[in-house]
Chains A and B, each alone.
Chain A
Amino acid sequence: MTSSHNQAGRTYAIEFGGAMVAYAVVLIIAITVLNANPHGAWRPFVAVAPVIPAIFGVLAFVRFLRRMDELQRRIQLEALGLSFAATAILTFAYGFLEFVGFPAVNFVWVFPVMIMIWGLGLAVAARRYA
């Protein structure tokens, strides 16, 4: 018997996986094009092109969140809340450290930090209900 819950997970895996594959492909193409063409007013548009498939990945997650059952949605909320707070504090603190000479870190690293803490938060939140 295929539950709606399992079906939601499968749909998410397909949609999100597809978005990530598209992201990787667009990223490789963008980097290749930018390296081959060091000048041009169009370069910023190519540079941000990988964001478009990433947006589809986010939309896939939002759809998954809506299909989740109530406990799993609560676990996600707790994990996302933890990630939001921890990422805010970490990036804020590191911003102060940059004032005293720590190396500047590109914004692109904020999202992976957020994702890592979200993953940790999921494990912590799920254990509370296990």
Chain B
Amino acid sequence: MRNKLHVLRAERGWSQAELADHLGVSRQTINALETGKYDPSLPLAFRISRLFQQPIEAIFQDDESGR
């Protein structure tokens, strides 16, 4: 699933490790999310949404969104 996680992270000047700490996951997970190789669970998606104060749909775009 496409996402703009790396953009949001860069805007705050965070490393992947720092973002991982904020979300309570491993750096490996952040990397897999940003490269689109792993889609977050719903609880993790909500934590990401709360952290960046944007709705989930503004951060993640699935292939069926058509936008």
Contacts and interface: CB of A to CB of B under 8 A. Distances in A.
Contacts of A130: 28, 31-32, 37
A20 B31 CA distance: 33
Which among B20, B26, B41 has the greatest number of chain A C-beta atoms within 10 A? B26
Nearest to A2: B21
B31 A69 contact: no
A70 B28 contact: no
Contacts of A128: 37
Interface string A1-43: 1011100000000000000000000000000000000000000
A77 to B, nearest CB: 13
A129 interface: yes
B32 A129 contact: yes
Contacts of B40: 70
Interface residues of B, number: 15
Nearest to A68: B26
Interface string B1-38: 00000000000000000101100111011011000011
A113 interface: no
A124 to B, nearest CB: 14
A57 to B, nearest CB: 23
A65 interface: no
Given A71-B29, A71-B32, A72-B29, A5 B24 contact: yes
Contacts of B51: none
7 contacts: A3-B21, A3-B26, A4-B24, A70-B41, A71-B25, A129-B37, A130-B28
